[in-house]
Structure 1
Amino acid sequence: MLKRTAHMAVTLGLTAATVAATGTVAAAEHGDNSVVRTDKGAVRGTTTGPVRAFRGIPYAAAPTGDRRWTPPAPAAGCSGVRDATRRLRRQPGLALGAVLTDADQARRTVDTGRTLARGVRTYTYEFADHETPWYADAATYPKPSFPMGATHTFELPYLFELTEFDPLTEPQQALSDTMIRIWSNFARTGKAPWKPTTTASPNAQSLASGPDGVHPVDFAKDHQYDFWKSLD
Structure 2
Amino acid sequence: MGAYNFFGTVNTLFIFISLFGVLSQVNMIWLRKQYVSSGGATELLSINQFTVSYLAYFSFFIYGYSIEPFNHYIVWPRLIATLLVGTILYEIWLDRKTKSSFYVLLVALLFLCFGIIGLFWGETIADEGRYVSTTLILTISLLMAQGYYHQIKLIVQSGSTGAIDLKMSQFIFMMDISTIAFALTMGLKMGWPLMVLAITSGITKVVIMYLFRWVQFSPQALTRRKEYNNEPS
Q: Same fold (TM over 0.5)?
A: no
Query: Which of the five TM-score ranges fits, normalised by the shorter chain?
Result: under 0.3
Q: Which one has more relative contact order, counting CA pairs under 8 Å at least 6 apart?
A: 2
Normalized per residue, the structure richer in helix is 2
TM-score (norm 2): 0.25
TM-score (norm 1): 0.25
